[in-house]
Structure 1
């Protein structure tokens, strides 16, 4: 997936000057959050390209395996969690995290700790039914090289699907929403046009999209033209960017 690859390149941007933060301190914090909140907490180390997953009893409700805590995985991507997510929400998660990274990367170091991501995601539970899950994410930057060192994610089963935006970047100190998602185009485009737009954003050509959706290339072209007209943009790639960034 093009978006995920782009995000990985940003997150795993290794530098010669290493971060000397003590990972054990942050692993202990992740454990405490998991225990106190009944959350699934994931601590991802960008320098080592590893993650540590701490599972509470909520993990069983989502049908996740209950092994050692933490479960250590050799990637920054918590694949077991990601596979549970609704495909639309998984894509939005990647896009929104890329937006979050770019926002913080443009800030001064001392400002970054004030910001986090709050998301509302559909995930399959132990009965293979979608449940609403609250997802929060925090970035921890290195004081040694100013690069992103750790990402800390919390997953909690949500009480309900409120009317709040699905994805927000918030200033936790001021209690302000900095960025809301721009996915209101769902009220403008048809379900098929949304599918086409997602594939355009992932870098697929019209012929590939036609094959994936089992429709003709002429139909794909018509959908792309409709997207341009409805969203009043010059091309489909710009439509994707305007919708997600």
Structure 2
């Protein structure tokens, strides 16, 4: 699912560049990450948001995920499901909230500065012994299109070398890698306006188990309008279903 399909045009996935130009830039990004993972000994996922493809690179940290550590592989998705299924469900959910906050934070940043920011957090993932172990996760946008839209996203996974106390948070941060400034992203203040008042009304009713037909009668709107709002909610929250949407909205303090 495209989680940001309804955002304003100047901040949407961009595919307007000619294919030759995009391929040249993509090749540059692939070559860069091939060298980077060798220096960082990490696992990197390069996601092409326009073509819905990902390129997965692995050096020595690939053994943590029991990956082939030679070259890179390509998948037809921007979500690295084989990695996601190894991450603790609670941490995966919190990381999802962090990414929503990060993306909406970037909407407030001038386009020329958006690539200066990244996220950092620690998450529990299953190692080769099938035991949960804290690892380091970072993400950022590597390239944008000539139209200014965010295009190539990168997720990095590696060992967490600093000691981590047992907490109920991934301690997600948004960092300006150019200035060194950072802040914890646990208040989700940049997501406060993510849903409209009507969408919140409908999601509250959904959370109470009210079906679309009944919602339409209660709010005096057509069932087609209810269904359109439901779809918009799922896309904005990047949720697979209504249950996930309610959980995400509650965690973001939207309801």
Normalised by the size of structure 2, how large is the TM-score? 0.66
CA distance in 1, matches of 2:248, 2:102: 20
Q: Indicate if the aligned counterparts of 2:33 and 2:57 stay in contact, CA closer than 8 A.
A: yes
CA deviation map 1:114-154 (0-9, x unaligned): 21100111100011101111011111342411111100111
Structure 2 CA distance for aligned equivalents of residues 8 and 238 of structure 1: 16
Over 3 Å counting, the alpha-carbon distance change for 1:174 and 1:159 in structure 2 is same
Provide the rounded CA distance (Å) in 2 between the counterparts of 1:43 and 1:237.
25
1:231 alignment partner in structure 2? none
CA distance in structure 2 between the aligned counterparts of 1:207 and 1:137, rounded to whole angstroms: 36
1:7 is matched with which residue?
A: 3
Aligned position for 2:185: 180
Aligned equivalents of 2:4, 2:163: Cα separation in 1: 30
Other-structure match for 1:103: 105
Q: Work out the CA distance in 2 between the residues paired with 1:74 and 1:237.
A: 26
Q: Name the residue aligned to 1:18.
A: 17
1:114 to 116, 121, 141: 116
Contact 2:63 2:69 in 1 (8 A): no
Residues 80 and 8 from structure 1, CA distance in 2 versus in 1: closer, same or farther, beyond 3 angstroms? farther
Q: Which residue matches 1:85?
A: 87
Aligned CA RMSD, in angstroms, stands at 3.2
Q: 1:7 touches 1:98 (CA, 8 Å); kept in 2?
A: no
- Unaligned runs of at least 5 residues, structure 2: 189-202, 211-245
1:241 is aligned to 252
Q: Distance in 2 between matches of 1:168 and 1:87?
A: 19
- CA distance in 2 between counterparts of 1:10 and 1:95 reads 18
Counterpart secondary structure, 2:71: coil
Find out whether 1:126 has 2:139 as its counterpart: no
Q: Does 1:35 align with 2:35?
A: no
Cα distance in structure 2, aligned partners of 1:61 and 1:55: 10
TM-score under structure 1 normalisation? Answer: 0.68
Tell me if structure 1 keeps the 8 A contact 2:48–2:151.
yes
- The aligned length equals 195
Return the structure number with greater relative CO, CA threshold 8 A, min gap 6: 2
Q: How far is 1:178 from its partner? A: 3.1
Structure 1 contact 135–155 (Cα < 8 Å) conserved: yes
